[in-house]
Amino acid sequence: MVSNDRNAVRLIRGVRKLRKVVVMGVGMTRLDQHFDKGIKELYEEAVLKALDDSGNPTVDHLYVSNAYADLVCDQADLGSLLLDYCGAGCSPITQIGGACGAGGCAISEGFKAVSSGQSDVVLIAGVEKVSDVVTKEATSISSLCEDQEYEASYGLTMAGINAMAARSYMQKYSATREQLALFAVQMHKNAVKNPYAYLPFEVTTDKVIESFPVADPLTFLDSSPLCDGSAAVVIGSVDSARKFTDCLVEMAGVAQSSDSVAVHERDSLLTMKSTVEAAKKAYEIAKVKPSDIDICEIHDAYTITGFIGLEDLSLVERGKAGIAIEEGTIAKDGKIPTNLSGGLKARGNPIGATGVYQIAEVTLQLRGEAEGTQVDSAEIGLTHNISGFGSTAVVGILRRLK
Amino acid sequence: MHMFKTIFQSGVLPMVMKPVNPVGIVGWGGYIPRYRITVEEIARVWGKDPKRYKVGLLVDEKAIAGPDEDPATIAIEAAKNAVLRSNINVKDIGAVFTGSESKPYAVKPTGTVVAEVIGATPLVLAADFEFACKAGTEAFQCGMGLVASDMVKYSLAIGADVSQGAPGDDLEFTAAAGGAAFVIGRSGNDTVADIEASCSFVTDTPDFWRRQGQPYPRHGESFTGQPAYFRHVTSAAKMLMDQLGYKANEFNYAVFHQPNGKFPVRAANSLGFTMEKIKPGFLVSKIGNTYSGSSPLGLAAILDIAKPGERILVVSYGSGAGSDAFSITVKDGIDEKRWLAPFITDYIDRKSNVDYSTYIKWYRMIVTPSD
Amino acid sequence: MSSPRTWREMPQRYRLEGLKCEKCGTVTFPPRSTCPRCKSDNMNLYALPRIGKVLTYSLIHSVPEGFEFNVPYPVALIELEDGTKITAQLTDCDSSEITIGMPVEMSIRRIREAGQSGLIIYGYKFRPIVKKSENK
């Protein structure tokens, strides 16, 4: 049996903080099938908004995260293309891939650059353009983050992996199909007032369960919709930031971890070690406990992914996500309001841009500027972004600066 | 009239192939896919009278390949069962011969896929055989030759087909999927049946054919009877029996190629074999005509139950045309080996019926956008 | 599906060949030249068992390109007799027959083909175990 105990090669030390890092400004496009906008237009919209929101600072380095522009847009070498379109050519830009976790990884890179003193101000943007292809192509493309030889080549899809986990979860914890569906119901409820959301309408548990099957037992409404969008955040050191804006949110901790791609190599489908490890480190660096978290934006690619995420982040007890949701724990007025944006499920899933959207959304909540979805007095927020079925996980913790 | 004379009448000397060194069967195995379609279901779609096939041809239903099966996968399953029963080191197989008339590739051997899967590569001969429905028994004869001449230690001979009849044609009611495999070695401690001798009776007789690039075969209807099937089957059988000095009652079993239920029964009767003797190898009513797999599967079914000392006559038939006949005597040791793999009856009993639309979809007879 | 890629994976796809660590007994599938547990590079050829049981499964309805032919098809995570896990399609069974814990055995099938003129990819699927007659 393959062991996942890889201590001898584990090099995780988390991110050592050298100086405080703050979010200076954010910008997002609405998520949709933007047939009329290409990847350049989406990027420019988010970036200009973020720069404006942060007082138009001088930026030392840029990062762009994207999952599948190579295939959807036939465009590699994205960074320079986008920068040039914005009239900002000749600036250093690093393109970061890694499927749906690319955004979180870009945030992690930007954080390290600033906290280590390499850069004073960086701009991190995620952008994804996916509506140019039809469903079958999109399904094939999103299968690229699976193990090609041992999963994708047998016709297993991302939905299929999550569906196998859902079946296993329901059997082990006696969770119900209705409980899973309730997660989607809550996500849609949250999205109704979010001006950026792709699906701002409510659904019922019956509607979720009766929508057409994607990979049994998961249905269409269990699955987050892939859509186009771009989000950008400007982060910097406190001193540099204060030259341009007073509205700051601290990035208290960012940590990253990984696991095998192929799920047959995992010990369990009901937990993602990458999330557990990244969360542990992030809590440690930020010096907070899970119970200190006031709000979170977690990676709910499917309803079951949301369940597993909540448990891996220690926000709900293992095996009890279904019950917690029934009891209103993750609702806007619950103990741990989750995905106030609507999450991947209802705000939308812009794949490689997701991780940056989450930072932007939590920042706005902590600033008190989350139009339509604001909760009262949130001080500490958490972001959770993964690739595939947890082959990479990035957890971020943000704190309101007083 | 000259075509109907037997070889004896035309003055040709009989020829029987007896290997210089005795050879035998070390292991055997077969495979039949899980799926069936009934004669009634096919008749329903084409407005035909099912009695014509059920009573007229003694066929109730036929086995069809699942959507992920083909002659290579069937050959592999049969080969694995034969190798299991053989209890040999698979690297000692020196030749893998696959006989089929429905090869997956026009150019690229099926034999190499089988050899690679079972682990017999790279020090192995792998060739594909073709002679309509007798491709499997030809593979068997060549396998015998290589072993008898000591050129290889063991050979693996397979007959497997996923055959297809033109939609609405009579052949559609019987064209089926299945296959069987035999490991052949020098007679000794590990052989469980001796292959005494073989003979072939081959002429150029155009009873059934398919041109290159054509999807379905054509046939000469009743011409496929006396001048084709019966002439070759009875000539080969008679020649073998005469030369070996055996009468019909000295065989415990006889298996003939089964294009339908009527032909083999008529052939058997004309040679003096009772229904009782052909019954254990008579599979066509339940699984249809598995073409290159037909008489090999019949032989495998008989080996599943035969006792030491019993003698089996096997006569194949391939259109175009020819027959291979064999006399096989079962030895001690067969009982220990038979339980190591599923019986042919286990595969016959494992079944699930499908309707006509599923069958033509699986057989890619519906044009889809991906084409 | 290119020739080299298809060919490279044959020992795994055709014969379930992995590597087993001589020092600590860890099995790797796909094979790894270094043991992930004890870091030894003494790895020996090891054929995975052909029999296992279904741990969990899903019926795939929304399919990727190349898999439109027989929808929905079941995919399962299977635990083999030695504890190694493997992902594969299930075959020769109706979806209503599939249960968690169901015993299955490996069978080589056509996995996919690269169009009408491309290569046929053969590989492992798993099916309910074919019942063998018993020696009574």
Across the strands, what pairs with B320? B205
Averaged pLDDT, A218-241: 97
pLDDT in tens, B49-102: 999 999 999 999 999 999 999 999 999 999 999 999 999 999 999 999 999 999
- What is the pLDDT at residue C89? 98
Of the pLDDT bands very low, low, confident and very high (cuts 50, 70, 90), residue B3 is very low
DSSP-H helix ranges across chain B = 39-46, 51-54, 71-86, 110-118, 135-148, 231-244, 262-271, 275-278, 284-287, 294-303, 334-338, 344-349, 356-362
In a domain, residue B4? The reply is no
Nearest to A390 by CA among A293, A298, A297, A291: A298
Q: Number of folded domains in chain A? A: 1
CA dihedral A152, A155, A158, A162 (to 10 degrees): -120
**What's B189's domain CATH number?**
3.40.47.10
Residue A15 has pLDDT above 70, yes or no: no
Choose among B66, B349, B362: nearest Cβ to C92: B66
Distance to chain C for B68, nearest Cα, Å: 5
CA-to-CA separations, A399 to A217, A234, B256, B343, in angstroms, rounded:
38, 16, 84, 70
pLDDT in tens, C82-95: 999 999 999 999 99
Averaged pLDDT, C5-31: 96
pLDDT in tens, B79-94: 999 999 999 999 999 9
| Contact criterion met (CB below 8 Å) for A341 and A365 | no
In a domain, residue A80? The reply is yes
| Token pair for A218 | 């998961």
pLDDT in tens, B139-162: 999 999 999 999 999 999 999 999
Domain that holds residue A391: 18-133+225-400
Burial class (CB in 10 A: 0-12, 13-18, 19+), A192: middle
Of the pLDDT bands very low, low, confident and very high (cuts 50, 70, 90), residue B6 is low
pLDDT in tens, B325-345: 999 999 999 999 999 999 999
The residues in C 70-129 lying below 8 A from A, measured between CB atoms, are 72-73, 75-77, 82-89, 95, 100, 111-112, 121, 123, 125
Averaged pLDDT, B262-266: 97
- What is the pLDDT at residue C7? 95
Strand-strand pairing, A121-128 and A61-65: parallel
Residue B9 has pLDDT above 80, yes or no: no
Alpha-carbon gap, residue A95 to A63, rounded angstroms: 6
Q: Provide the residue ranges of all domains of chain C, joining segments of one domain with +.
A: 1-48, 49-129
In a domain, residue B2? The reply is no
- What is the pLDDT at residue B368? 81
Q: Number of folded domains in chain B? A: 1
Residue A11 has pLDDT above 50, yes or no: no
Q: Which residues of chain A lie closer than 8 angstroms to C112, CB-CB?
A: 153, 155
Residue C96 has pLDDT above 60, yes or no: yes
Annotation marks residue B257 as catalytic: yes
Residue B8 has pLDDT above 60, yes or no: no
pLDDT in tens, C23-33: 999 999 999 99
Domain that holds residue B99: 12-364
**What's A100's domain CATH number?**
3.40.47.10
Please give the residue of chain B at the shortest CA–CA distance from C13: B117
Alpha-carbon gap, residue B269 to B257, rounded angstroms: 14
- In the predicted model, what is the mean pLDDT of chain B? 95
- What is the pLDDT at residue A5? 42
Alpha-carbon gap, residue B357 to B359, rounded angstroms: 5
- What is the pLDDT at residue C124? 98
Of the pLDDT bands very low, low, confident and very high (cuts 50, 70, 90), residue A312 is very high
Catalytic residue among B41, B196, B219, B257: B257
Alpha-carbon gap, residue C61 to C71, rounded angstroms: 6
Tokens 């600036």 found at: A91
Percent above pLDDT 90 for chain A: 93
Among the CATH numbers 2.40.50.840, 3.40.50.960, 2.40.110.10, 2.40.30.20, which is that of C49-129? 2.40.50.840
Alpha-carbon gap, residue A222 to A179, rounded angstroms: 11
The single-letter code of the amino acid at A61 is: H
In a domain, residue A204? The reply is no
CA dihedral B129, B131, B132, B136 (to 10 degrees): -50
